[in-house]
Amino acid sequence: MNIMKKFLTKYVRKKDRTSFFILVSSFLCFVIGFVLGNWMWDQTLPRPSPGPVPTVIPTETPTPSDNPSPSPTVRPSPSPTPTPTLPPVSNRPYTINVWLLVYRPQGDYVNETGDSIAFTKNTLLPAMNNASKYKGYENPQAQSSLRYILADENVHVEYNPPPHRANGQYDYEGLFQKYDLCAYATQHDIKTVILWADGLGEYGGGMWEAAITGSKGIPTNGEILSTCPGKTIVVYGLNYTRGLAEAMESYGHHLERAFQFYRPVYTSWADQDSCGNVHNPPNFRFEYDRENTASFSSDCRTWRSDGTGVKETLSCATWGCSAVTWIPWWMQNASADWWKIIGSPD
C-alpha cells in the first residue's frame, strides 16, 4: 500500500486519483477472479486413476557356466618362483573311531599301564592326537591332524588268554568272526582296533605290532589280513607290561610303512641327515639311542621335499633326551599332508 500511495502522489494528479484507484482495483479484482475461477474449475474435472506400479526386477548375479563368455586375459608381470612351503595343518582333523579289547586274568596281574582302558583313553590316544600336530612342540595353537576317539560301547574285556593259531600267532580271523568285527567296523566307521595282552606266558598276545585289513595295498610292519577286504582297519597289538613309549613306537612303525608307501620322499625325510626314524634320532650311536647329547647337523625342523631345508645344529636337548619325548617330536615333524593317509585310508 505504501508503494501505491507513493506512485499516486508522484504520477497522478490529485483530482484524478480517485478514478485511477477505482480502475486499478477493478483490474486486480478481475485478475484474482480469473485465477480463482480456473482453479475451482480444475478441481471439478475427473482425475485419471494411477497406472500400475512398474515391477522392479532385480538384476541376477551371473553364475559360472560350462561355457562362460570370453573375458580379457590379464597377463601379470613375471615374478620370481616362490620358495616351496610345507602344506598347512588341516582345519578339520580326521576322526578315527577306535575299538578296544583287553585280554587279562581275573584279579591282580602285571600291568605297567595300570588300567589299560583308562590308560588308552586318558594317555595313549591323547598322545597319538598330539603327535599329529605339525610342529606342535613350538606352536601351542597347532591343531591335531587326527582325532582318535574311544566310545564306551567299543570297549571289551575278556578274562581269558588270547586265541592263537596253530603256529602260535594271534588268531585275527577268530577275532573278526567272534565279534562280527568287519560288519561292525563298516557300520560304525571303526578304523583302528587296539588289542592289549601280556608280552609272554599264558596271556601273551602273539600279535604283530600292527596288522591291517583292506584291499588298498596299504602296508604296515605286520600281516596284511584277508579278513574285511572292503574296509581298511589297522589292528595294533600292544603289551600292557610296557609303557607309553613302547605303545607309541608300535604306532610309529605303522606310520613309517604307510608314509613311505604313499610318499616316496619320506625316505629323504627319514635319513640320518634329516629326521631319522622312530627308533633312532640322526645322532644315534646304537639302536634306541635317544639320549645322545652330542650335537649334530640336521634339517629336520626345516625339511623340504626339494632339499632346500636349512641345516642347523641340534642335540637330544631339542626333544628332551628320552624315548617318550623323542617319538612325538619325530612325528610332529612329519609333513602335515601325510596324516590323511592315516586318517582317511579308504
CATH of the domain at 216: 3.40.980
| Strand positions, DSSP E, 68-120 | 94-103
Per-residue pLDDT tens digits for 157-203: 999 999 999 999 999 999 999 999 999 999 999 999 999 999 999 99
Domain carrying residue 102: 94-263+336-343
| Residue 59 included in any domain | no
Q: What is the pLDDT of residue 67?
A: 41
Helix (H) or strand (E) holding 117: helix 116-119
Per the structure, the count of domains in the chain is 1
The Cα–Cα gap between 93 and 126 comes to 13
Q: What is the pLDDT of residue 271?
A: 87
Closest CA to 237 of 178, 190, 172: 172
Which residues are paired to 228 by β-bridges? none
Helix (H) or strand (E) holding 290: none
| Strand positions, DSSP E, the chain | 94-103, 146-158, 190-197, 210-212, 234-239, 296-298, 312-314
Per-residue pLDDT tens digits for 137-153: 999 899 999 999 999 99
* pLDDT cut 70: percent of the chain above it: 73
Q: What is the pLDDT of residue 44?
A: 45
Q: What is the pLDDT of residue 18?
A: 60
The Cα–Cα gap between 334 and 146 comes to 13
Q: What is the pLDDT of residue 80?
A: 43
Per-residue pLDDT tens digits for 267-303: 999 988 899 999 999 999 999 999 999 999 999 999 9
The CB-based long-range contact list for 230-233 (8 Å cut-off, 24+ gap) reads: 230/182, 230/186, 231/182, 231/185, 231/186, 231/346, 232/191, 232/345, 232/346, 233/181, 233/185, 233/190, 233/191, 233/192, 233/193
Q: What is the mean pLDDT of residues 75-83?
A: 41
Q: Which of the two residues, 205 and 48, has the higher pLDDT score?
A: 205
| Residue 157 included in any domain | yes
The Cα–Cα gap between 103 and 112 comes to 14
Q: What is the pLDDT of residue 273?
A: 85
Cell of 67: 561355457
pTM of the shown model: 0.73
Q: Which of the two residues, 114 and 36, has the higher pLDDT score?
A: 114
| Residue 140 included in any domain | yes
Q: What is the pLDDT of residue 38?
A: 53
| Residue 329 included in any domain | no
The Cα–Cα gap between 203 and 162 comes to 6
| Residue 206 included in any domain | yes
Cell 607309541, residue located: 248
The Cα–Cα gap between 98 and 155 comes to 9
| Residue 245 included in any domain | yes
Q: What is the pLDDT of residue 79?
A: 43
Inter-residue contact 219 to 342 (CB < 8 Å): no
Treating both helix axes as pointing N-terminal to C-terminal, what angle do 17-44 and 2-11 enclose, rounded to 10 degrees?
Answer: 140
Q: What is the pLDDT of residue 320?
A: 96
Per-residue pLDDT tens digits for 6-65: 544 554 455 555 665 565 566 665 556 555 555 554 454 444 444 444 444 444 444 443
| Residue 87 included in any domain | no
Q: What is the mean pLDDT of residues 214-241?
A: 95
Q: What is the pLDDT of residue 140?
A: 87
| Residue 121 included in any domain | yes
Q: What is the pLDDT of residue 31?
A: 52
Neighbours of 163 (CB within 10 A): 15
Please enumerate in sequence order all residues whose Cβ is within 8 A of that of 92, keeping only pairs 6 or more positions apart, or say none: none
The Cα–Cα gap between 129 and 145 comes to 7
Cell of 198: 601280556
Inter-residue contact 265 to 259 (CB < 8 Å): no
Q: What is the pLDDT of residue 104?
A: 97
Closest CA to 337 of 84, 109, 113, 32: 84
Cell of 325: 619325548
Per-residue pLDDT tens digits for 229-274: 999 999 999 999 999 999 999 999 999 999 999 999 999 999 888 9
